[in-house]
A = this chain, B = another copy of it.
Amino acid sequence: MRIFRALNLTLNMRKLFSILFISFGGMQINCAQQDSIMFDRIYHESFYNGQAYDNLRYLTKEIGHRIAGSKKADQAVVWSKGLMEGLGLDKVYLQNVEVPYWDRGPKEKAHIVETGEPLNVLALGGSVATPINGLEAEVIEIELLSDLRKYGEQVRGKIVFINKPWDESMVETGVAYGLNAGQRSRGPGEAAKLGAVAFLFRSLSSSAIDDYPHTGGTRYIDGVDRIPAIAISAVSANRLSERLKENPKAKVYLEQHAAWKDNVPTHNVIGEWIGSEFPEKIITIGGHIDSWDVGEGAHDNGTGTMGTLDALRTLKALGYKPRHTIRLVFYMNEENGVHGSMAYGRYAKDKNEQLIAGIESDAGGFAPRGFDIKASASQVEWMQKHWKPLFEQKFWVSRFLSGSPGVDSGVWGEHFPNTTMFNFRPDPHRYFDLHHTDKDVFEAVDRRELQSGVAAIASLLYLVDQQIDELHKK
């Protein structure tokens, strides 16, 4: 009795445990029942003893944001290698990756010249600096890059300001993000081709009343001038747009000091739990350990790394022995170059490894909803029939739909087109409120939601390990 109370087991749990122990003793129970019992144990372990939340606190509060190439990123590498070693995995190592290093420098400044009204801005990742004393220019406001052509020579010497609102009608905020993100990437190059002196971009935020600028990657066109590329908060974008209606000649002052530094040698962090039956067949699971250089990289992607690590810890704590090798990978540099996942794919390809499945977590740590799956239609259908019922009613995880793998899995997956891929999907409503901003901090993560996600991922990992051979026959 005492031990059960110490474990905080309810009567029902105790019954289940008894059944489990009996089954170990030789009695037969069917597979779905076994899986269901395993799920109960996983959820119990994750909610009661989960460490994702406490590890996340360390990563966000003690280390903080960690752009690839920075000292903080290396600190995260060393610390998370220690975490993996603490799990007692069979092999923990660093994989060399060379990354570009972009340094934001001192805080950006921006205001409307005529009114002095401040604008909340944040340089886009990879942007070059303004002149050291800033720049001042008139503004051309457009919604779509394609509108720029109409302005022709008028663009020369101006700031191009893309002010396309977020499509708020979409529950699937990732799609809304995708609708506008292309202009963030292509904008600086297209604007520079026409002689613009800077590129100002309405932040990709799901809230129209958001006063935080959201950074994110952008790029230039070889052979075309590189101009400063800067994100502006939705509220500041609205303010600027109003002023431009009143005075189309209004000027904006921009000052920022970002710079590319020398490439930096750094690492992916890898831990392996060797399979007992098929050690050569590898299930890759993980997410990126780097973040943007704002906030604390909590939902993006502290929850993904600390969550997948805790999924392994959960199975280990339950005495689980994997059939296949489970390889935990913390990729470096997802945010601005994906050099970590490129390196991972290249090494695996060179060694002719058998990467049979990939699981990625890089969409935040909100309440778990399910997985986007890259597999054949008949395989997805089989998982909907056999796996989804284990999750749906009791654990509120019900999304098992065909979809894209995460960014890192997608990149290394180019070498492994037949790998079955799972992209963990937490609730999407709030993610793009804080994505790539100073708001993405530890306090924005809820422990129950995070540990519920850990349990969902651990449960999926268990099913993949147990049943992937069966799945691959479908």
Contact = CB atoms under 8 A, between A and B. Distances in A.
Interface of A: 5, 8, 10, 13, 40, 43-44, 47-48, 143, 165, 167-169, 171-172, 179, 206-207, 366-367, 369, 392-396, 398-399, 401, 427-430, 433, 446-449, 452
Nearest to A366: B367
Nearest to A403: B393
A167 B8 contact: yes
B10 A167 contact: yes
Contacts of A449: 429-430
Contacts of A207: 447-448
A398 B395 contact: no
A377 to B, nearest CB: 14
Contact of A48 (B169, B171, B427, B428): B169
Nearest to A396: B171
Contacts of A169: 10, 13, 40, 43-44, 47-48
Given A8-B165, A10-B179, A367 B48 contact: no
Given A47-B168, A169-B13, A394-B171, A429 B401 contact: no
A13 B168 CA distance: 12
Contacts of A8: 165, 167-168
User: Of residues A40, A47, A395, A452, which shows the largest number of chain B Cβ atoms within 10 Å of its Cβ?
Assistant: A47
Contacts of A40: 169
A367 B429 contact: yes
A429 to B, nearest CB: 5
A172 B448 contact: no
Contacts of A13: 169
Contacts of A398: 398-399
A179 B428 CA distance: 31
A428 B446 CA distance: 12
Contact of A448 (B143, B167, B401, B430): B430
A168 B428 CA distance: 24
Nearest to A12: B167
* 6 closest cross-chain pairs (CB), A and B: A44-B169, A47-B168, A398-B398, A429-B448, A367-B427, A429-B449
A52 B444 CA distance: 23
- Which of A44, A395, A429 lies at the interface centre, i.e. has the most chain B CB atoms within 10 A of its CB? A429
A237 to B, nearest CB: 14
Contact of A396 (B168, B206, B369, B392): B369
A401 B10 CA distance: 25
18 contacts: A5-B143, A8-B168, A10-B179, A40-B169, A43-B169, A47-B169, A48-B168, A171-B452, A172-B394, A207-B448, A367-B429, A396-B427, A396-B428, A398-B399, A429-B446, A429-B448, A429-B449, A433-B446
A440 B442 CA distance: 21
A366 B452 CA distance: 16
A171 B43 contact: yes
Contact of A171 (B167, B395, B429): B395
Contacts of A167: 8, 10
Nearest to A209: B447
A471 to B, nearest CB: 22
A43 B393 CA distance: 26
Contacts of A433: 446, 448
A433 B448 CA distance: 10
Contacts of A452: 171, 429
Given A206-B448, A369-B396, A430-B446, 8 more contacts: A8-B167, A43-B171, A47-B168, A367-B427, A396-B399, A398-B399, A429-B452, A433-B446
A414 to B, nearest CB: 26
A56 to B, nearest CB: 15
A452 B366 CA distance: 16
A97 B49 CA distance: 48
Contacts of A393: 401
Contacts of A430: 446, 448-449
Nearest to A432: B448
A145 to B, nearest CB: 15
A115 to B, nearest CB: 25
A110 to B, nearest CB: 25
